[in-house]
Amino acid sequence: MENKLIINILELIGGLVVLIGGGELLVKGATNMALRLKIPAIIVGLTIVAFGTSAPELFISLQSALDGNADLAIGNVVGSNICNLGMVLGITAIIYPIKVSDTTLKFDWPVAMGASVILYLITFDSVISFDEGLVLFLLLITYLLILFKRTKSDIKLQATAEEEFQLDEDDKGDSTVLVWSKDLAYIITGIIALKFGAEWFIDGAKSICLVQLELDERIVGILVLAIGTSLPELVTSAVAAFKKETDLALGNLMGSNIFNILSILGITSMVTPINISDMIHNYDMIWMLGITFLTIPLMFLGKDLNRWEGALLLSIYCYYIYSIF
């Protein structure tokens, strides 16, 4: 029994590491290809990188839905959104106060709140169908077009993007065929890693939580899968906070929540319909709506999220986790 538990824990951790690594490789290869095709860095950041960082959640939700574990699929997204604004944002603000930009107040937050409300409304019939998934995906395309239009004239953002997304120095002197082959290899390896990482992570979580601990499938999705896939955002935000560079933290987390709903649930439900349990719709989604709404008065108070407000968000998240048990 103990040996099996150790194997399951290693499978869970190994799957998560492979998932994160696969996402990194996918982003690396796709970003290099886009830059070689002279696609502006700002577009690369808004599309390829945004999609790549959401790839672990996408593969987990897709794999769960295809396996018939709907609560894992939807719980992963809803739980991740709650975790982003409760745990990740709370811890980041406790480390160092987060500045709130006008863009976050006037654009990121309304879109994140709107996406959450839309998700809640379309799941009253307890399913996200192909048509509803298509609507979510089209809303994602619209969001990206508006986002690009808003940012392409921002010289500062463009300069930041150019600095962040640059071609590998190691490629200099390599032949064109070799360079493109390396980028293609990154992409293929990343996709394979995401596929197997998702399987291992889900199998490990199911074996430990569903079989050995006899937890509800919904709790596994909301807690284990959601926190696991939110760890990269937590690490990135915490590092930025320690460096006192929290200007983009809030906008990035709002953007992650928007992508989770419109991209992950949109794509997954176009592949296979996602059934929604009453508990997730009537309880967990209400919490997601509530914690998203709560951030707006906190942001307006002093135009920043200070340590006390971060502690409040983290406390609310801890109470939510306590309540689902």
Q: Which of 84, 54, 91 is nearest to 238 (CA)?
A: 91
Interval 30-85: pLDDT, tens: 878 877 777 666 566 656 766 776 788 888 899 899 988 889 899 999 999 999 99
Residue matched to tokens 């998203």: 292
Interval 254-268: pLDDT, tens: 888 999 999 999 999
Query: What is the reported pTM?
Result: 0.84
Q: Give me the torsion for CA of 116, 108, 91, 9, rounded to 10°.
A: 50
Within 10 Å of residue 237's Cβ, how many Cβ atoms?
A: 25
Q: Determine the average pLDDT of the residues in 174-202.
A: 83
Predicted pLDDT of residue 42: 57
SS (H, E, C) 142-207: HHHHHHHHHHCCCHHHHHHHHHHCCCCHHHCCCCHHHHHHHHHHHHHHHHHHHHHHHHHHHHHHHH
Residue 246: partners with Cβ closer than 8 Å, 6 or more residues away: 92, 93, 96, 97, 98, 99, 237, 240
Interval 123-179: pLDDT, tens: 999 999 999 999 999 999 999 888 877 766 655 555 554 555 555 555 555 567 787
Which structural domains are found in the chain, ordered by start? 2-324 (1.20.1420.30)
Beta bridge partners of 127: 275
Q: What percent of the chain has pLDDT over 70?
A: 86
Does the pLDDT value for residue 286 go beyond 60?
yes
